[in-house]
Amino acid sequence: MAFFFRRLLVAPLIFINFILYISVAAIAGWALNQAIDLGWEAVSYNPVTFYLVMFALLAGVVGIGSTFSAIHHLRTWHYHSLASSNAATYISWLLTLLAMGIAIKQIMFGGFLTFQMRLLEALVIIVAVTHLLYLLGVGASAYRGEYVIKTRETIVDSPTPAPATTKE
């Protein structure tokens, strides 16, 4: 019963992260498109904007992929899917932390920013926090022993049958 409640706590975070990562990728994609069409001055005069857009776009795309892995793990909730889901999640969270650091640097620089760029800064910071909460939720489940291998559970079945014994 406790397993069910932990899964119920992790599921909304996956959904929230998915929506936030789609928003981050969409806004960063828009900013990149504007910069290609009109130049970076149309988006912002801040020198950090280029790096924020690139890393936010990368973090958004990798984050969307990690949420697919997290959904699969939520569905199976087994130690076989835990390692791959956590690896993808840690990579996307670290990229998001990098984008968050650049967003904080852009806030410190100040200057002219469009509404979309201010929204991108806020979303990157919010998704870094919610992604950390998801990691803590899954990590708490792993450390509480939900994924412990049972003693009688066989990990790999032998492909060859056991030899037959004959009586003489």
Domain assignment of residue 40, yes or no: yes
- CA 151 from chain center: how many Å? 33
Domain assignment of residue 105, yes or no: yes
**Total structural domains within the chain:** 1
More confident site: 36 or 160:
36
Cα distance between residue 64 and residue 160, in whole Å: 42
What mean pLDDT is predicted for residues 88-93?
Answer: 96
Nearest to 116 by CA among 27, 29, 41: 27
Burial class of residue 44 (count of CB atoms within 10 Å of its CB; 0-12, 13-18, 19+): buried
Domain assignment of residue 133, yes or no: yes
- Full domain range(s) for residue 82: 16-143
Domain assignment of residue 124, yes or no: yes
Which pLDDT tens digit goes with each residue over 25-38? 999 999 999 999 99
**Is residue 144 over pLDDT 70?**
no
* Six token digits for residue 121: 């800064």
The torsion region of residue 39 among left (phi > 0), alpha (psi -120 to 50) and beta comes to left
| Residue 92 near residue 160 (C-beta atoms within 8 A) | no
